[in-house]
Amino acid sequence: MLKWPTLQDLASASLEEVNQLWAGLGYYSRGRWLQEGARKVVEELGGHVPRTAETLQRLLPGVGRYTAGAIASIAFGQVTGVVDGNVTRVLCRVRGIGADPSSTFVSQQLWSLAQQLVDPARPGDFNQAAMELGATVCTPQHPLCSQCPVQSLCRAHQKVAWEQLVASQSLPGSPDVEECALNTGQCQLCAPPTQPWDQTLGVTNFPRKASRRPPREECSATCVLEQPKALGGARILLVQRPKSGLLAGLWEFPSVPADPSGEHQRKALLQELQSWAGPLPATRLQHFGQVVHTFSHIKLTYQVYGLALEGQVPVTVTPPGARWLTREEFHTAAVSTAMKKVFRVYEGQQPGTCKSRKRSQVSTPSSRKKPSPGQQVLDSFFRPHFPTDAPKLKNVAQ
What percent of the chain has pLDDT above 70?
A: 81
Q: Does pLDDT of 227 surpass 50?
A: yes
Q: How far apart are CA 61 and CA 48, in angstroms?
A: 15
CA 22 to chain centre: 14
Find out whether 113 and 106 touch, Cβ atoms under 8 Å.
no
pLDDT at 314 (0 to 100): 54
pLDDT at 168 (0 to 100): 77
Query: Measured between alpha carbons, how far is residue 283 from residues 88, 267, 280, 306, 309 in Å?
Result: 57, 11, 9, 11, 11
Task: State whether residue 158 is helix, strand or coil.
Answer: helix
Question: Rounded mean pLDDT of the chain?
Answer: 83
Instruction: Tell me the pLDDT band of 317, cut-offs 50, 70 and 90.
Output: low
pLDDT at 1 (0 to 100): 85
* Angle, CA 309 vertex, CA 305 and CA 315 arms, to 5°: 115
Q: Does pLDDT of 177 surpass 60?
A: no
The runs of H, that is alpha helices, within 244-385 are: 265-277, 327-332, 337-348, 378-382
**Pick from 158, 160, 142: which is nearest to 150 by CA?**
158
Most confident of 146-150, 199-203, 232-236, 246-250: 146-150
Most confident of 25-34, 99-108, 228-237, 364-373: 99-108
Predicted TM-score (pTM) of the model is: 0.71
Residue 85: partners with Cβ closer than 8 Å, 6 or more residues away: 134
Of residues 393 and 171, more confidence is placed in 171
Eight-class DSSP state of 119: -
* Backbone CA torsion sign across 343, 362, 295, 264: positive
CA 156 to chain centre: 28
**Peptide bond just before 207 cis, omega within 30 deg:** yes
Instruction: Tell me the pLDDT band of 387, cut-offs 50, 70 and 90.
Output: very low
The conformational region for residue 239 under phi > 0 = left, psi -120 to 50 = alpha, else beta, is: beta
Within 13 Å, how many C-alpha atoms sit on residue 52's CB side? 3
Q: How far apart are CA 287 and CA 362, in angstroms?
A: 20
